[in-house]
Chains A and B, each alone.
Chain A
Amino acid sequence: MSKAFTLSAARPGVITANDLRQGHNVWMCDDGWTADPRRATIFEDEAIAELALLKAIGQADLVVGPYLVEARRGPNGPEPTHFREAFRQRGPSNYFHGIQADQAQDIPETAHV
């Protein structure tokens, strides 16, 4: 997982996990969970993020292994700061599979819960 960091406005974060039933990566968004990382809710306040993480842990019927990870604000929403998260948001580099393929095909958000 990501290295510990102190959440702040300068170093915001997102909450991510895996979808329990299907396994794909999901991000906490304002109305639940999304498979589109650009829609993830950005947290800047540690106390609020911790509460949200507790809420995520409480949604074990939907997601597995939620964690808070650093992100930065980008023009289209949050962006990863570490290559591991970048791969999670894109998919593998050897095949056009995973999120990159879903986004290219504009697959409706099956993960939206």
Chain B
Amino acid sequence: MFDVRPVETDYVRHRATQFRAQVERRLDGSLTEDEFKPLRLMNGVYLQLHAYMLRVAIPYGTISPDQMRTLALLAEKWDKGYGHWTTRQNIQFNWPKLVDIPDMLDALADVGMHAIQTSGNTIRNVTTDAFAGAAFDEVADPRPYAELLRSWSTDHAEFQFLPRKFKIAISSGQKDRAVIASHDIGLRLTERDGKPGFEVWIGGGLGRTPLLGQVVRDFLPEEDLLPYVEAIIATYNLSGRRDNKYKARVKITVLERGLETMRAEIEEEFKARRRDFHGADREALSIFKDRFRAPSFRNAPTDAYDAERAANAPFRSWTDTNLHPHRVDGYASVIVTFKAPGQTPGDASAQQMRLLADLAERYGHHDLRVMHDQNVALPHVHKSDLPALYAELKAAGLATANAGLTSDIIACPGMDYCALATARSIPIAEEIADHFRAVGLEEEIGNLNIRISGCINACGHHHLGHIGILGLDRAGVENYQITLGGDAYDIPAIGERAGAGFPAEEVVPAIDRLLRAYLEVRQDATERFIDAYRRLGPAPFKAALYPVAADA
């Protein structure tokens, strides 16, 4: 059991009170919209296509049952009964009224939550491995470091007006499940001579200029984490471009100025900054390590689990796909996908949130994680509890056995909600999922990451999809470009555009041809789509997507 409530609850309350006064001043005319907009963005309030949107921070995706119930309360009382998990492990509410948002922030503050720095040109929510503290291949729990970065970056005076937004991720397993290569700063937790530290990456990002990060420091001792990260951001704060919004991310700074120049400046800055850290950061880290101590794991037989697996085929199938190996014998991490048939990827109803809270208390050591792929994990479940957990999830429509499969699609809200979108994402995701369920190929296809963005800002991470889909406006009609060969995890790669885009109604047939071609050419069932693509190159897949062009 750990205490997820930030220590600075008074500060969160103070900020909520401050925002209430700002809203009042906007409504009585004391503030213009131009003056108010940066203030609302600092509190996660956007104005979207149909309504305001409130993005609530879930630091490194870790959330307690009480906090989850508060999200349910917000959804029910001030929204339309649901929320949307984001790829930064946060949650968005699509329909709040501006006049209600101060009350929503007060309710969040009651459980130590807030919407601070979920928008604006600041350091955003630090993300990490959803299986932190649980994964079988973990070097150490990354959350104390994530919490250190969170508390340091919250309201950091120097970094409230960066050239552009800034995203940090920490991975902690042998396998990177935090997608560090696509972050402004990526930290890979590792060890050298038995001491923890980080491989530090900078300059990754998606959007209109997708770039993978590069290693700027191959080993950073843990005690130097804050001064070094501060040195990177301070260097970028001065040299990052402010003349052009589209060239303002650190990835462009690294590209234009060169990694070596940046590294030299960062190291110089680091030497100076390190002298100003007098140990408070190391004390805080030690407190956070204690806060995130492991729960009291049970040592119990797993016979009931084995028996249920033998007797119940749907349960067996769910455990095959939706469990992740745990570092403790007898335990597993459970992935609850929010990608059921007909469901909008990543949408959770208030009822489902409350159920997750109850289940986490009953079976999951009071721990829940929002995953960057818009699912939710219960990181610590004893296998003997899995049959009961599964039954309750199933009754609520939350036991879809599809984690990592074709229908487990990441999709941004697209033009159904987003003011920036150029096309819709959600209907495309639903149609693809429905189609492959209907033709019964999902299991046969196996692991596949499909990712859909409704504009080039790439919130749906389409560049990192094995199959990426990008929605565009072509002469007033929705049109979808397909990219192939992206990978967020094993060998990070940016997908390559396959060719001309497809009208909405031709996307599903195109993906169908593509995946049937894959099934034809794969060596065996263990060769995933991305593996076959790497082995064969794009030619056979492009030929499937564009049969006429290939024949010509």
* Residues on B with beta carbons closer than 8 Å to the beta carbon of A94: 344, 347, 416, 426-427, 430
- Per-residue contact bits, chain A 62-83, to B (CB 8 Å; 1 contact, 0 not): 0011000000000000000111
Interface residues in A48-98 by Cβ distance below 8 A to B read: 60-61, 64-65, 81-84, 87-88, 91-95, 97-98
Q: Is the interface of B mostly helix, strand, loop or mixed?
A: mixed
Residue B96 interfacial (CB < 8 Å)? yes
Cα–Cα distance between A24 and B476 once the two chains are bound (Å):
24
Interface residues in B42-81 by Cβ distance below 8 A to A read: 47, 49-52, 80
- Per-residue contact bits, chain B 409-447, to A (CB 8 Å; 1 contact, 0 not): 000000111000000101100100000000000000000
Name the one of A61, A81, A92 contacting B50, with C-beta atoms under 8 angstroms. Answer: A92
Which residue of chain B has the shortest Cβ distance to A86 in the bound complex?
B415
* Residues on B with beta carbons closer than 8 Å to the beta carbon of A34: none
Which residue of chain A has the shortest Cβ distance to B96 in the bound complex?
A23
* Residues on B with beta carbons closer than 8 Å to the beta carbon of A93: 416, 424, 426-427
Contact status B32-A20, CB under 8 Å: no
In the assembled complex, the CB of B25 is this many whole angstroms from the nearest CB of chain A, namely 12
* Residues on A with beta carbons closer than 8 Å to the beta carbon of B49: 84, 87-88
Identify the interface centre among B52, B80, B430: most chain A CB within 10 Å of its CB.
Answer: B52
Contact status B415-A84, CB under 8 Å: yes
Contact status B97-A21, CB under 8 Å: yes
Say whether, besides A93-B416, A93-B427, A83 and B50 are in contact (CB < 8 Å). no
Contact status A92-B416, CB under 8 Å: yes
In the assembled complex, the CB of A79 is this many whole angstroms from the nearest CB of chain B, namely 14
Contact status B80-A22, CB under 8 Å: no
Residue B95 interfacial (CB < 8 Å)? yes
* Residues on B with beta carbons closer than 8 Å to the beta carbon of A88: 49-50
Say whether, besides A60-B33, A64-B33, A97-B95, A92 and B417 are in contact (CB < 8 Å). yes
Residue A18 interfacial (CB < 8 Å)? yes
In the assembled complex, the CB of B267 is this many whole angstroms from the nearest CB of chain A, namely 44
* Residues on A with beta carbons closer than 8 Å to the beta carbon of B477: 83
Identify the interface centre among A24, A61, A97: most chain B CB within 10 Å of its CB.
Answer: A97
Cα–Cα distance between A93 and B471 once the two chains are bound (Å):
15
Which residue of chain A has the shortest Cβ distance to B427 in the bound complex?
A93
Residue B269 interfacial (CB < 8 Å)? no
Residue A25 interfacial (CB < 8 Å)? yes
* Residues on A with beta carbons closer than 8 Å to the beta carbon of B417: 92
Say whether, besides A87-B416, A94-B427, A65 and B47 are in contact (CB < 8 Å). yes
In the assembled complex, the CB of B419 is this many whole angstroms from the nearest CB of chain A, namely 9
Contact status B478-A22, CB under 8 Å: no
Contact status A23-B476, CB under 8 Å: no
Contact status A24-B51, CB under 8 Å: yes
Say whether, besides A24-B51, A95-B80, A82 and B32 are in contact (CB < 8 Å). no
* Residues on A with beta carbons closer than 8 Å to the beta carbon of B80: 95, 97
* Residues on B with beta carbons closer than 8 Å to the beta carbon of A97: 50, 80, 95
Cα–Cα distance between A60 and B31 once the two chains are bound (Å):
10
Cα–Cα distance between A99 and B32 once the two chains are bound (Å):
27
- Per-residue contact bits, chain A 18-44, to B (CB 8 Å; 1 contact, 0 not): 101111110000000000000000000
Contact status B52-A23, CB under 8 Å: yes
Contact status B99-A18, CB under 8 Å: no
* Residues on B with beta carbons closer than 8 Å to the beta carbon of A83: 415, 473, 476-478
Say whether, besides A18-B47, A23-B51, A65 and B33 are in contact (CB < 8 Å). yes
Residue B284 interfacial (CB < 8 Å)? no
Which residue of chain B has the shortest Cβ distance to A22 in the bound complex?
B97
* Residues on B with beta carbons closer than 8 Å to the beta carbon of A82: 476
Residue B388 interfacial (CB < 8 Å)? no
* Residues on B with beta carbons closer than 8 Å to the beta carbon of A20: 26-27, 98
Cα–Cα distance between A110 and B296 once the two chains are bound (Å):
54
Which residue of chain A has the shortest Cβ distance to B37 in the bound complex?
A64
Residue B29 interfacial (CB < 8 Å)? yes
Contact status A22-B98, CB under 8 Å: yes
* Residues on A with beta carbons closer than 8 Å to the beta carbon of B430: 94
Which residue of chain B has the shortest Cβ distance to A61 in the bound complex?
B29
* Residues on B with beta carbons closer than 8 Å to the beta carbon of A92: 50, 416-417, 426
* Residues on A with beta carbons closer than 8 Å to the beta carbon of B347: 94
In the assembled complex, the CB of B51 is this many whole angstroms from the nearest CB of chain A, namely 4
* Residues on A with beta carbons closer than 8 Å to the beta carbon of B98: 20-23
Which residue of chain B has the shortest Cβ distance to A92 in the bound complex?
B416
Cα–Cα distance between A93 and B344 once the two chains are bound (Å):
10
Contact status A22-B99, CB under 8 Å: yes
* Residues on B with beta carbons closer than 8 Å to the beta carbon of A60: 29, 32-33
Contact status B50-A98, CB under 8 Å: yes
Which residue of chain B has the shortest Cβ distance to A21 in the bound complex?
B99
Cα–Cα distance between A88 and B50 once the two chains are bound (Å):
6
In the assembled complex, the CB of B149 is this many whole angstroms from the nearest CB of chain A, namely 33
* Residues on B with beta carbons closer than 8 Å to the beta carbon of A98: 50-51
* Residues on A with beta carbons closer than 8 Å to the beta carbon of B51: 18, 22-24, 98
Which residue of chain A has the shortest Cβ distance to B342 in the bound complex?
A94
Cα–Cα distance between A25 and B50 once the two chains are bound (Å):
6
* Residues on B with beta carbons closer than 8 Å to the beta carbon of A22: 51, 97-99
Which residue of chain A has the shortest Cβ distance to B50 in the bound complex?
A98
In the assembled complex, the CB of B343 is this many whole angstroms from the nearest CB of chain A, namely 9
Cα–Cα distance between A81 and B427 once the two chains are bound (Å):
21
* Residues on B with beta carbons closer than 8 Å to the beta carbon of A95: 80, 344
17 A–B contact pairs at CB < 8 A? A18-B47, A23-B50, A23-B51, A23-B95, A24-B50, A60-B32, A61-B29, A82-B476, A83-B476, A83-B477, A83-B478, A84-B415, A92-B426, A93-B426, A94-B427, A98-B50, A98-B51
Q: A22-B99, A84-B415 known; 6 other A-B pairs, CB under 8 Å?
A: A21-B97, A23-B97, A87-B415, A88-B50, A95-B80, A97-B95
8 A-B pairs with the lowest CB-CB distances in the bound complex, closest first: A92-B416, A23-B52, A23-B51, A22-B97, A94-B344, A94-B426, A98-B50, A21-B99
